[in-house]
DNA sequence: CCGTAATTCGGTCATACGTCCGATTTATAT
DNA sequence: ATATAAATCGGACGTATGACCGAATTACGG
């Protein structure tokens, strides 16, 4: 009996997504809020409202699913950070914009930073993820070099290459960010602003 | 029959340690080389050459054991970094010494940095470890402030408090360190040296 | 010596996990 | 309308894990 169920046609909220998309989003949510080490395939299946076996159907295994979540996160970071750098047009202002983006994310969307930290930790122990994450750091550093240092018409600053300085800036944000996340000291995000010393 | 086993008296290598010490060292080794998420109680028991149940006997449960490993790591960091800061006597030289210590550790003892990164990641998701790690970062930052900025006779530098600047220095080392660990680029450790710009 | 407490061990239990399989339903093309 | 393929589901299997228990061994004070 081919009965038409009414709710199958009605676009119930977010039910427009395909099932593999729902799984991916659910995995992202679970890992962002509890960490990759504390998330099981069952957790993700439940969060997505989907049978457990569907995760393997679409992503083969846990590593395959996590890899896809990492790829999603990477493209999100690259897009957002490039957008925030593009908004301004002087090197100084761009640096300020980058810092502002980062501080803003830590305050209003800390899950995204937790995700980056978590997967970077995973990358330490797993070669599969190490190549993905090291590429992200390289691309972010290249982006900083391109948008902040290229207009300065110089290849060096105080004896250091712009490549090296970009890595330092990226590292400063990352390392300061984790401290902000761990310590709810209201004064701490100011350390991110202090990074601007590097451009004076 | 109280038979004396020869090897019980002979001090076989490192067998002077008590069993709880052996367990603690084994846990430290396992976590340092494979990450906290990839280490089981059985792994540690095997590494220590001890019955599984002994881990619970001495440390109650897995969390208790890991907490002790964290405490061990923390005291090691505090001791080593204070020692490296004490070696020099001018602020500039002390900063240089700190950077040198960090670069040296990354090259010759990267397990120690991996351990710090790993447990910091654990701290993001677990309140128990979060307080421990956030205290470590605070103590390290205070140390930097005390040994590097106190002689400068100033409470501020370019508009930022010395407390804020210390956090930035610590964050720079941490965030640059993880990039060095992920990327075998020979040029990358130079970014650590670039931190000295902050003192000019 | 002896008895009590501390230590050490092997084994077990319940559970949580990742993966896989067969059956059923849904979609698609002829 | 029918046949074939894709998608979805519930359930099962084997294994790994943390915690726990009772027995055996060792250490030690009387």
Contact B156, B162 (CB under 8 A): yes
What tokens does B31 get?
């976590």
Measured between alpha carbons, how far is A143 from A71 in angstroms, rounded to an integer?
18
What is the C-alpha to C-alpha distance for residues A194 and B13, in angstroms, rounded to an integer?
51
Tallying the residues shown for chain A, one arrives at: 200
- The three-class DSSP label of residue B145 is helix
Residue ranges in chain B whose pLDDT is less than 50: 1-15
Residue A16 binned pLDDT confidence (cut-offs 50, 70, 90): confident
* Distance of alpha carbon B54 from alpha carbon B111, whole angstroms: 26
**Mutate: best of B121, B132, B134, B180, partner A, most A CBs <10 A:** B121
Q: How far is CA A137 from the centre of its chain?
A: 11
- Residues of chain B contacting residue A139, judged by C-beta atoms under 8 Å apart: none
Name the residue among B123, B122, B103 with its Cα closest to residue B113: B103
* pLDDT for B11: 34
Which strand D bases fall within 7 angstroms of a protein CB? Answer: 7-12, 16-22
- B72 exposed, middle or buried (CB, 10 Å; 0-12, 13-18, 19+)? middle
Asked if the C-beta of B64 comes within 8 angstroms of chain A's C-beta atoms, the answer is no
Please report the domains of chain B, with CATH numbers, ordered by start residue: 14-60 (1.10.10.60), 71-199 (1.10.357.10)
Helix/strand/coil for B177: helix
Distances (CA, A) of B64 to A6, A37, B60: 54, 18, 6
Tell whether the model's pLDDT for residue A90 goes beyond 90.
Answer: no
pLDDT digits (tens, 9 = 90+) for B140-168: 999 999 999 887 766 677 889 999 999 99
């Amino acid at each position: 009996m081919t009965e038409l169920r009414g709710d199958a046609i009605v676009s119930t909220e977010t039910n427009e997504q395909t099932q593999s998309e729902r799984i991916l989003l659910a995995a992202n949510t679970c890992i962002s809020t509890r960490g990759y080490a504390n998330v099981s395939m069952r957790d993700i299946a439940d969060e997505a409202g989907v049978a457990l076996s569907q995760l393997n159907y679409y992503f083969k295994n846990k590593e395959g699913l996590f890899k896809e979540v990492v790829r999603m996160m990477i493209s999100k970071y690259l897009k957002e950070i490039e957008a925030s750098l593009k908004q301004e047009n002087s090197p100084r202002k761009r640096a300020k914009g980058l810092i502002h983006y980062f501080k803003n994310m830590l305050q209003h969307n800390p899950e995204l930073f937790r995700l980056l930290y978590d997967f970077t930790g995973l990358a330490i122990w797993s070669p599969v993820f190490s190549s993905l994450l090291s590429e992200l750091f390289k691309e972010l550093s290249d982006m900083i070099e391109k948008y902040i240092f290229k207009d300065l018409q110089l290849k060096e600053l105080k004896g250091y290459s712009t490549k090296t300085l970009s890595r330092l800036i990226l590292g400063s944000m990352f390392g300061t960010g984790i401290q902000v996340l761990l310590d709810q000291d209201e004064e701490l995000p100011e350390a991110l602003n202090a990074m601007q010393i590097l451009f004076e």
